[in-house]
Amino acid sequence: MRQQSGDASLLRRLNTAAILRHLRGAESATFAELAKAARVSRPTAEAVVEELLAEGWAEECGEDSAERQRGRPAKRFRFRASAGHVVGVSIGAYRLFAMVADLGGRVVATHRMAVYPEMPADERMAAIVGLVEQAATDLGDADALAGRGAGRFAAVGVGTTGVVDARGRVVKSIALPGWTGLELQAELSRMIPAPVLVENDMRLAVLAEHWRGVAVGRRDVVYLFTGNRMSLGLLIDGVPYRGSHGASGELGEQPGGLWKVWSHVVDYAMSVEPGELRSPGQAAEFAFTRALEGDPRAVKTVEAFATGLAEGLVTVVNPLDPEMVVIGGALSRGGELLTGPIQAYLNRVCLYPPEVVASRLGVESIVVGALKLALNNADKLLFS
């Protein structure tokens, strides 16, 4: 970037951002390396680093041994990730989950809170705020940003079920009462003294897989969330796809109801234990457990269930041509029992079959994605 004359204060901020950005991306750096990377003089680099050290954004980490051998020891510096923290929150019908990380992405705390599906919207939001406040309190003064309570966070990322538009409004949600039409991002921003971002949970789940899950390094991914509901997350050219109305991944009504595949596991569970009422997701987990124990009928049931999932997936996989399909959610614990039949089916019917893998993040994928959303926003604020 060519520097021009003008406001000295603005130029100083630009130089600071450039040096901080280089420190963030490097393991460590000397004054000379920082000056070269930021295209500034060495005295300017030294002045900026001294300021960053005083404010806690950088720390000294020893001397360059190669320079010491030449008789000119050079101090080395690195970005101090613990200077700030972000929090990711996932909102579910039965549980709220918060995860706190420093600015290097290192998770330092997790918090969970049980809720219930019929909880009114205002009570659910108050619980979210309480969870974030608890996370801030538990950080302690030594590792937190200056401020009080949740104001210590550089950003708060929130993942929620439903169609979420670009400004964080829940356009439609059938899972949570009072959630449709809720200006969730705006409401939480009024109650939490930190930048708040709200996004659809499936877009955050596929973002998490791309960041720290099984899809690291992949550019085009289909993420299938499995549980008592089915939803998709799409990663296209490395970016979660929103769609024109923010409704990408919403499956809507399927022929025969919520994907007729549930009938395989529900019928099996009812036949084995007629008196036990289970949700579709619980019935699937029951069948998986019995299959792992060697029940041949359970093995066939799980195979039929997985093949049914594959038949639905192929309508997305064939036109999108992804590199990978990730099976996430609670049923990802089924592992090869679930991915094997899906892979076999896609191998038969796809011109370029994608790799099918089970998520290792499981039910944590949404909160991890919310954490990444918060980190991305903190980076924009920090380096702009």
Q: Is residue 315 part of a domain?
A: yes
Whether 286 and 274 have beta carbons less than 8 Å apart is answered as no
Q: Are residues 189 and 286 in the same domain?
A: no
Q: Is residue 3 part of a domain?
A: no
Q: What is the pLDDT of residue 230?
A: 83
Q: Is residue 22 part of a domain?
A: yes
Q: What is the pLDDT of residue 152?
A: 73
Whether 171 and 162 have beta carbons less than 8 Å apart is answered as yes
Indicate the residue among 64, 79, 94 that finishes a domain.
Answer: 79
Q: What is the pLDDT of residue 231?
A: 87
Q: Which two tokens stand for residue 67?
A: 């320079």
Verdict on whether the full-model pTM lies above 0.85: yes
Q: Report which secondary-structure segment, H or E, holds 343.
A: helix 336-349
Indicate the residue among 20, 45, 79 that finishes a domain.
Answer: 79
Whether 63 and 78 have beta carbons less than 8 Å apart is answered as no
Q: Are residues 97 and 73 in the same domain?
A: no
Indicate the residue among 45, 79, 113 that finishes a domain.
Answer: 79
Q: What is the pLDDT of residue 146?
A: 40
The SS3 of residue 100 is strand
Q: Are residues 62 and 91 in the same domain?
A: no
CATH number of the domain encompassing residue 269: 3.30.420.40
Q: Are residues 354 and 231 in the same domain?
A: yes
Q: What is the pLDDT of residue 281?
A: 87
Q: Is residue 1 part of a domain?
A: no
Structural domain total, the chain: 3
Q: Are residues 356 and 243 in the same domain?
A: yes
Return averaged pLDDT per consecutive 10 residues of the chain, 384 residues in all: 57 88 89 91 92 91 61 82 93 94 93 95 96 85 41 89 94 93 96 94 96 97 88 94 84 55 91 90 92 94 94 92 95 91 97 96 94 94 75
Q: Are residues 221 and 354 in the same domain?
A: yes
Q: What is the pLDDT of residue 69?
A: 52
Whole-angstrom Cα distance, residue 144 to residue 137? 9
Whole-angstrom Cα distance, residue 253 to residue 312? 12
Q: Are residues 63 and 19 in the same domain?
A: yes
Q: What is the pLDDT of residue 260?
A: 76
Whole-angstrom Cα distance, residue 327 to residue 312? 13
Q: Is residue 155 part of a domain?
A: yes
Q: Are residues 316 and 257 in the same domain?
A: yes
Q: Are residues 263 and 178 in the same domain?
A: no
Q: Are residues 313 and 236 in the same domain?
A: yes
Q: Is residue 2 part of a domain?
A: no
Q: What is the pLDDT of residue 141?
A: 40
CATH number of the domain encompassing residue 72: 1.10.10.10
Q: Is residue 223 part of a domain?
A: yes
Q: Are residues 113 and 235 in the same domain?
A: no
Q: What is the pLDDT of residue 151?
A: 53
Q: Is residue 149 part of a domain?
A: yes
Domain range for 251 is: 217-360
Q: Are residues 227 and 342 in the same domain?
A: yes
